[in-house]
Structures are given as C-alpha cells and as structure tokens.
Structure 1
Amino acid sequence: MSEYPVFLTFRVSFKYLWHYPFCLFCMYLYVIISYYESINQCKKELPEYFNFASDVLDEWARLEKDGRKPANPAFWWVNDEGQEVKWSFEELGSLSRKAANVLSGACGLQRGDRVIAVLPRVPEWWLLNVACMRAGIVLIPGTSQLTAKDISYRLQASKAKCIITSDTLAPAVESVLPGSQFLKSKLIVGQGSRDGWLNLKELLEVASADHQCVKTRSQDPMLIYFTSGTTGFPKMVEQSHSSYGIGFAISGRYWMNLTPSDIMWNTSDTGWVKAAWSSVFAPWICGSCVFVHHMPQFKSETLSRYPITTFCTAPTAFRMLVQHDVSRYKFPSLKHCVTGGEALNPEVLAKWKIQTGLDIHEGYGQTETVTICANMKGMKIKPGSLGRAVPPYDVQIVDEQGAVVPAGEEGTIGVRVQPTRPFCMFSQYLDNPEKTAASVRGDFYLTGDRGTMDEEGYVWFVGRADDIINSAGYRIGPFEVESALVQHPAVSDVAVVSSPDPVRGEVVKAFIVLAPAFVSHDPEKLIHELQQHVKKVTAPYKYPRKVEFVQELPKTATGKIQRKVLKNKEWARERQQ
C-alpha cells in the first residue's frame, strides 16, 4: 500500500497547497518533485494562520488512524534503566491536549505568555513543546546545566510567567525567586512533590483531553532562544510559528533524508536549538519517528541495538566515534548521517566513510535561521564544505558593506533579506531593536561567520568573525589549523585560539588533548613534530607557534568546543602580566 494519497500526483503551487493539510504538502514534496523543481514551483506565500500542532501533527494522527502511514511511533524514548515510552501521533495529540489544559488551567497561563522549560531529555519536554503550540504559549528552552545566575537572568529578561523544571534544578530556581517579579507559577516534572510547586504528572492524570487548539497567525511568536554573542549578555532570538514550523520542510526531506518510514536519533541537548531542528520539527514534518536515548554518556551501541535509520550528532562526537573504530559494530538499519553546530573535519568524514560505508551530510545554520547550507542527499560532497544554499535562502559571501565578493574570496556568510525577507528567518532580537537592525548590512543578514564560496556555489567555513586570528596581517581561521592537527595520530582533540604576541599582535595557539599512546613522549620534540606537520598540511604561516597539552577541552552540554573560554583565559594572562 502506498504511504501517500493518490490525489497528490499533480503539480500545484504553494498557494493552492495551503488548502490541504500541511503535512500532505510535505508528502507532495517527497513524492512528486525533485529538490530543485520544488523550489521553482514555490511562490513563497504563507498561510495567514498556521499552527504546527493542528496543521501537521494532528494531520499525521488522522492519516495514522486511516492506516495511510507506516506503523512507526511518532515518539520513542528509552533510558539506561530499561524504561521505554512510545507514543503514536494520536497519543501525542491526546497527551499534549491534556498538557495544554494544565498550562492554561492550573498554571494560569494565557495566549502569548512565556514559559521557560529547563529539562533534560525526558518525554515531558516533547509533550510540553506541543502543548505550548496548542495553547499559543511561547516556549523558552534552556539546558539543564544552567546555573542559578543563568536562570535569574532569563526569568528577568523574558518576563516569563511560568518555569518548568526537574526536582534536581528546582532548588536553583527557588534561590532566585525573590527577584522574579513576573513569575506566577512553577511546574515540576518528576515523581517528587515540593512546596509551592505544581506537579505535572499529578495534573495530567486529572486533566481533560478535550482542548481546542488556538488559531495562531503564521508570524505569531512560538519560540524564544537565548543565544550568546561576542559581547554582552545572551540575546533573545524570537521564532514564529511559520519560521520553524514550516521552514524545515525542505531540509528535513532533502538534507536529513526523512520519510514516514524513518526513525531519527538526534543526540542534542534539549536546551540547544538543534533539538528543535532535528528532534521536533524536521522529523515530525516528514512523519518520522523521533528517537531519544536519555543517558549520561553517548553510546554508539545504541545504533546497533535499535532500528535507527537516521543519525545526527555533533562533529566532535563523530570524531570520538572514529577514534574508537566503529567498524567493529554493526548498524543494520542506519542509512543516513547528518551533522551541524560546528565544522566537520575532512579527516573525520573520511574515516567514518571507511568504517561505516556512510557519508556524513554536514549542514549549517544558526538559532536565527533554519538550515542555511547543507550537503543534500545525492549531492557531491566536497570534504570540508558546508554544502550549498538551502532554499528559500540566497546565500552569498559579502564584505563589510554587504557587497557580494568574487568566488574564492573570503568574507562574511550572508543571507539575502532584501527585497524579500525569507519567512524562515527569526522575527527579531526581542527587546533589542538596535541589534536586530545591526544584523543587516545592505541587502544581507550577516551571520557573523567567515567563509568562502567556490564557483559551484559550495560554501566553505573559515571561522567565527570573532575567532579569526590576525597574525602579522595574516588572517587565520582556527578550523583549518584544527583540521590539520587532528590528522596527526598524537592528537585526540584540539582547539585553536589566538594568543597575544608583542611582535605579531596575535599568534596561533593550539590546546591539544593527546592520544594515550603519546602521553609519555617528550613534549618539546612532539610540539616541533606537530608544528612541522601543520606546515606541510596547510599554509606554513598557519602553524601553531604556541602549543599547550591539556587533559580536556571546555565544551558545551552538546559537545561543542568553547574556544571563547580558552581565548579569554589566554588574553587574561596577558593583562595580568
């Protein structure tokens, strides 16, 4: 039996497709047209009203009930204690309606109110995502590693009226409550009870499953993410119902290669925007199963034990996997791998291909966008490249004035926003009109990332604008030096930053975690060997003039190296001297 309705065998425009359930439009993309044809057909018109819960999830539930969707669950959660949760789209719908009634009832929240959710990878996080959409409540996700100071800042800046967290983090929230004048309710996720807190599990048991989804406009706010900049406190990035709710249709199908038959495992922490990308919107737009393994440490055995077809994790995690040689494992169901969040080293790409027979399809985007560039399924992969622009984006490399630079010339990666701003861009930096205005130069939104574009339109990442090392007039991106170093067998992990120098202004410094077999080697000889290695692999002027061996590198909860931490420490030493 076909997975898709027969009537979707003709060509229609975006405008006409909105008369049908949105998930059927995604199926139309899958069945009827190729990647480039789909873009030529789109008229880039949005519906006036759109809500992901009712227009996508509920439609998958209907198709599921009619037997027109593969039997995979919508959501599949496991942990290391042997617990397991599976929800069909219909069950997700029923439970999320109950949760929406909890938010609107016991928590006293109204449409447009903001809620902070600081939770680990527990099923309730996904449930609350959908519940907020149904109730028109703006969700603000946060990582479980937030400190009391972080929570306090977010409560004040967002004016959130409710916070949802675990019993582990509840004490940190309580320690900052005296200064949280906007907070009206506190919801705890877990088995225990706590004075002054509502318990989600208890409320769900008595909540009604009868809930009418709020009719949200496409451009109404849906999500707010706090994202760090080069200076000042984290900014609030506001995303609308259409930007993420519709914006991942193309990349979900053509970058992540998802269909209703797929089971996708994305390892991202719930506080990181990649969780929204690859654990909510992209897979559920395509009717795929979202797989979650709640575990203290990443385990590659998960790919062997469960029928995962699509795998997404950070480049750092792929690097760790190939170092342990995953060729000794069998991944019988795995057929597609994607990565993002930081640049992927060509060496890692090559080793993964050798060990598994699979490519890693790198994608690139920001909290402010959906996927900007990607190595789509079927494209030629150029190792080290971010791939080509993902429609509807027009991606160019621009100079400081916003003018497009020639192929091969370095500049800032920019997205064209004039004369038409892509619908899948962020709405604004909330309460920061100056920053919102400053993000645009000429006709382009500036990502703040440096790159180049070759004559075939492939984009090559150089580094964050603030990470670029300017040594005696030479501009050096840390990624290229890191890529050279990881090719040496002595290097297990590495981060490259600028270090102050009285002659050159700044020089390249490498912080290196050694492979176990090289820990006892003579450090001076090893440093010289590594420097010579970099000179041979890349331009000689890019070699690290300073090298420091360390036990570990500072990383975020999602495994991204925090170069800024190392850079700040390095320059702080200079100020202290």
Structure 2
Amino acid sequence: MKDPSREPFNFGRDVFDRWARVAPARPALYLIRDAAHADIVGYGELARASDGLAARLAAAGITPGTRVLVVLGKAPEFWVTLLALNKLGAVPMPGTTQLRPADIRYRLEAAACRAAIVLPGIARTLTDPFFDQQLTFRFVTGGDEPAPAGWTPLDAWAPASGPPDGPVTSAGDPALIYFTSGTTGHPKMVVHTQAYTRAHRLTASYWLGLQEGMLHWNFSDTGWAKAAWSSVFAPWNVGATVVVDPLTGKFQPRAFLELLAGHPVESLCAAPTVYRFLVQEDLGRYRFPALRSAVSAGEPLNPEVIETFRRHTGLTVRDGYGQTETVVLVANPPGAPVKPGSMGKPAPGWTVAVIDEDGRELPPGEEGEVAVRVDHGRPEGLFAEYAADPEGTRRRFRGPWYLTGDRAQVDEDGYFWFVGRADDVIISAGYRIGPFEVESALLEHPAVAESAVVAHPDPLRGSVVKAFVVLAPGWRPGAELAAELQTHVRAITAPYKYPRLIEFVEELPKTISGKIRRVELRERGPQG
C-alpha cells in the first residue's frame, strides 16, 4: 500500500499558488491602516513575493528542514516569510513579540535552531553572546528601523521571475513547529507536517464557514497556533482574505470596535477575553453591516457573554475547540443550533469521545477526558510528535486514543461541555468542581469583568475554591462585595461550588496566547 505521507504536497505551491493562478487580483491580505483605510495585497502579488524571498533565503543557505525562528508580529512580512519558508521546505517556528530574550533562548536551544527572521526591535534585544554563537542565519524584516549590527536585512517584497528551485516536499515532511502555551510547565515543541496545513480546510468549512473572497479577521498574535488556524491556512485553503489589524499592546476595546465597524469584515474570530471586554462597552453605538459570523476559541466562552453580544449584534458567537496539536476537533458550525457554553459537536472525520481512565467511552452526563480515536489511521490534522520528547509524545496516547488533557462531558444531544484542563479540576471534600462553571457564574454578576478559579489548600476539605476577580468599571473591591459574589454563585449553581475565598486583582496572568495561567494563581500566597 502506498504511504500517504510520501505523497508530494506543499501548501505554498499546491494551494496558495493555485489560487494565485485562478484569481491573482483577489485580496490575500487586507491590511487595515485605520478605521477608514486599508491596503490590499493580491494572491498573485503575494505568490511572486514569496517566490522571490524563498529564492533569496535559499541562496543564503536556508535548506529543506532548516528550523527558523520567526518573530514578526502583525507586520505583513510575516505572511510573505511563512509562505517562502513553506515553499523551501524549511520549518518555521513562529513566536510572539511578547517573548523575552530568555524565552527565545529556550526555544532556540530546545529546537537546536540556528536561524531567525525577526523584527529589528526584537533583534536589538538579543544582545547576549549566546545569540551570536547559536544563530548562523540572522535576518530582520518588517518595520522602518535599520538592521542592528550582525543582522542581515531582508526585502520580503521583491518578486521573483519564477518559482524557487528545490525539492518538492511530501505530505509527511515537517512544516511547522509551534510551542505549546505552557500553562503548566515548559512549552513543548509541537511538530506539524505539510498535511496539517491542508487539514485546515475542515477548520475553514466546518467551523469558520469561510468561502472564496470572504474577509476574515482573526484577532491573534501571529506567534501562536491560532494564527496558523485562522490567519493563514484555513482562509487560504478556501481562497478567502486574511484581515490584518494594526492593534498592538494592551487590548483597547473601543479601538477594536471602531475598526470592526469601519471595514467590511464578514467573519470574526477572537479569544474569549476579547468578547468579555467588548460586552463591557456600549455595543449599541456601533453597527457592523458586513459581519455575518463570529467565533471564539482558546477557552470556552461564557453563556452570558454570548447572550449579551447576540442582543447587541444579532450574531451568536460560536465556540470551537482544538489544540496546538490539532485542527478543529469540536465546534458549533454555521447554521446549526447553538447551546451557549457548549463547545459543539465533533467535526467530520474525527471520532471524539469522553473516556474514563481505562479508555472506556462514557455515557452522556459523565465527566471524563476528551480523546480522539486514532486506531483506524492517524488523522492528518493531528501533530506528528513533540520534538525531542518521545516520552511526552507516548503519554498522549492510550490504546486507540489520543488524549487531549482536557476534561468534559457530553449531553444527550451529543454536545460537548468543557470542564477544564485535567490539572485544573478542583477536588473539595470529595466533590469535583470544574473552574469554568464557577467562572461563568461569577461573570453573570455585573461587577465581574473577568475571573479565574483555582484550588486553594484547606486542612479540612483538602482544597477549597478560590476566585481571582477583575472588576468591571465603577465597582470597588471589598469584603461586602466579596460576600455578595459568594451569595450570587450559591444562588445559581450547586452550593458546594461557590468560592470560599475571593481575591480582587487588577488583571489575570495569561500565557502569550491569552489563556489564563491558573498554575501561577495556584502558586500565589494567601493574598496573591
């Protein structure tokens, strides 16, 4: 039998360049400048630019299999660079601009990576002699700053006369390395193949509902895997347009809403935190005439936030679920009934179940671990391995199942309901308590803008529920408000779930991908 992993395939040449031939003038990138202006980069222009950059990188010594750290933020050069490296068969390792030199050192050492393409401002921070010794290839692109000493400037936009030379990649060849967001430990290196890039056709069709020419805005840093999902491979698989915003730094809800209202964005994808901030604003002031789809991913979105957004926009935010290691696994597809707070139903082609510790599929209503069946063939949207960590890879598989590490339950209608990461579940006096349900209950109180719930050691109960609460504008912390929140939670969920401890904080610690770092909250002392 022919090995499908050896099938010739390359996303840049076989998918993107196909669209460039079919519709060269169609926008591949829609680059927002401000609330009224944007620049367009067509599929044809981007194909030629990526060919040119691939040729120049190959001439400089980047070869198939070369691992390349890429830290370019939302600079348009990110998309040219990713395509160029893909066409070469090199392996980009995207990272966020929030990475510090110590984070970058960890990634370079862990991956034995000797090449980097970064913004000039990032290059200027890498002053330790380690980087001179580690990096054989040091390139800067994007922005108006000059290249620091020792770094080579790259013109990402100079087109080539033809496709770059080099061997054709296979479906099973490495195409990307993403580092997990590290909520509980050091990030792992998730290796994805060329086949993973085309597997995001499922993400585009089943969850995002994208079609040719649609303008899709994924509000995400390019350094984490959600960008691969929603800012690159899903939209470009179906010939859609990637919207690139200029927003950086601390999230500003009003600036976000002004851009959304000022441009013909048809499809929006954002983290739950974004929607939680948006519903704190006066949404009635804004109109989004082109918007017809809104989705959320990263962590489940609370039902009360979904309802508030729907009331003001007419759109129901549709949750989707997957991991750095996968494409979309479970989602609420366009047009299907949504149960607010549910992750939805398994995507076509994936057998997803909730199982017990012995690998047995559990009936509706029972909590267990979310798992994917792999004994009938490994889905091409599933990661290849954790690089340099065979034991870590092995632990993610049990019998016929791939283990996600997330806990959930399924209802009688087949909808999945998230409980929490396996290491986030709180056991108090014998009761198992998922943090998400308590956090959702807290968010139903008008005083709460954000919350995170963790286990806190207790000599009698083993653990009790502790909530960290960020207040909405106009509310002041205090013992009286804490008691009111406790009463509120007891009134709308099982009494044993209420937070016996509440700490008011200015902000919650998050990973670079926006997920709450509950592990950091668990490690805090009694007063944070």
Q: TM-score, normalised by structure 1?
A: 0.86
Choose from 7, 10, 14 the match for 1:55: 14
CA distance in 1, matches of 2:121, 2:75: 13
Shift of 1:500: 1.2
- 1:32-43 equivalences under 5 Å are none
Choose from 20, 45, 48 the match for 1:94: 48
Per the alignment, residue 469 of structure 2 pairs with 512
Q: Are the aligned partners of 1:156 and 1:180 in contact in 2 as well (CA < 8 Å)?
A: no
Per the alignment, residue 260 of structure 2 pairs with 303
- 1:65-84 equivalences under 5 Å are 65=24, 72-80=26-34, 84=38
- Post-superposition CA distance 1:221-264 (Å, at most 9, x none): 00001114565522110000001x22111220221111113100
Change (3 A) 1:230 1:482: closer
- Letter aligned with residue 394 of structure 1: T
Per the alignment, residue 532 of structure 1 pairs with 487
CA distance in 1, matches of 2:433, 2:214: 41
Choose from 205, 214, 217 the match for 1:262: 214
CA distance in 2, matches of 1:283, 1:230: 28
- Letter aligned with residue 101 of structure 1: A
Q: Are the aligned partners of 1:338 and 1:361 in contact in 2 as well (CA < 8 Å)?
A: yes
Choose from 369, 380, 383 the match for 2:326: 369
- Letter aligned with residue 501 of structure 1: D
SS at match of 1:246: helix
Per the alignment, residue 246 of structure 2 pairs with 294
Report % sequence identity: 47
For structure 1, the 5+ residue unaligned runs are 1-43, 66-70
Change (3 A) 1:289 1:432: same
Change (3 A) 1:160 1:47: closer
Q: Are the aligned partners of 2:203 and 2:234 in contact in 1 as well (CA < 8 Å)?
A: yes
For structure 2, the 5+ residue unaligned runs are none
CA distance in 1, matches of 2:158, 2:390: 43
CA distance in 1, matches of 2:487, 2:181: 36
Shift of 1:558: 4.2
More displaced stretch, 317-326 vs 165-174:
165-174
CA distance in 2, matches of 1:176, 1:561: 33
CA distance in 1, matches of 2:396, 2:200: 22
Q: Are the aligned partners of 1:152 and 1:180 in contact in 2 as well (CA < 8 Å)?
A: no
Matched, 1:426 2:387: no
More displaced stretch, 417-426 vs 353-362:
417-426
Choose from 146, 153, 170 the match for 2:99: 146
Change (3 A) 1:505 1:572: farther
Change (3 A) 1:95 1:147: same
Choose from 233, 237, 253 the match for 2:186: 233
Which of 1 and 2 has higher RCO (CA within 8 Å, sep 6+)? 2
More displaced stretch, 475-484 vs 204-213:
204-213
Q: Are the aligned partners of 1:371 and 1:390 in contact in 2 as well (CA < 8 Å)?
A: yes
- 1:244-393 equivalences under 5 Å are 245-296=197-248, 297-298=251-252, 299-393=256-350
CA distance in 2, matches of 1:260, 1:444: 35
Choose from 498, 507, 512 the match for 1:543: 498
Shift of 1:335: 0.4
More displaced stretch, 401-410 vs 380-389:
401-410
- Letter aligned with residue 56 of structure 2: V
SS at match of 1:431: coil
- Letter aligned with residue 64 of structure 1: A
Matched, 1:400 2:375: no
Q: Are the aligned partners of 1:155 and 1:180 in contact in 2 as well (CA < 8 Å)?
A: no
SS at match of 1:174: coil
CA distance in 2, matches of 1:535, 1:287: 49
Shift of 1:572: 11
- Letter aligned with residue 425 of structure 1: L
Change (3 A) 1:506 1:162: same
- 1:88-127 equivalences under 5 Å are 88-106=42-60, 108-127=61-80
Shift of 1:178: 5.3
- Letter aligned with residue 310 of structure 2: K
Shift of 1:204: 5.3
Change (3 A) 1:84 1:160: farther
Matched, 1:410 2:382: no
SS at match of 2:405: strand
SS at match of 1:302: helix
Q: Are the aligned partners of 1:340 and 1:363 in contact in 2 as well (CA < 8 Å)?
A: yes
CA distance in 1, matches of 2:36, 2:486: 48
Q: TM-score, normalised by structure 2?
A: 0.94
Shift of 1:177: 2.6
Change (3 A) 1:505 1:140: same
SS at match of 2:418: strand
CA distance in 2, matches of 1:557, 1:328: 31
- Post-superposition CA distance 1:180-217 (Å, at most 9, x none): 44x2110011331222111012x754966552464111
CA distance in 2, matches of 1:97, 1:178: 28
CA distance in 2, matches of 1:101, 1:291: 27
Moved >3 Å (runs of 4+): 44-47, 79-85, 178-181, 203-210, 228-232, 556-559, 570-573
SS at match of 1:259: coil
Quote the RMSD (CA, aligned, Å): 2.1
- Post-superposition CA distance 1:101-149 (Å, at most 9, x none): 121112x111111100112100011111100111000010011111111
Q: Are the aligned partners of 1:252 and 1:286 in contact in 2 as well (CA < 8 Å)?
A: yes
Choose from 109, 112, 115 the match for 1:162: 115
Per the alignment, residue 177 of structure 2 pairs with 224
- Letter aligned with residue 201 of structure 2: A
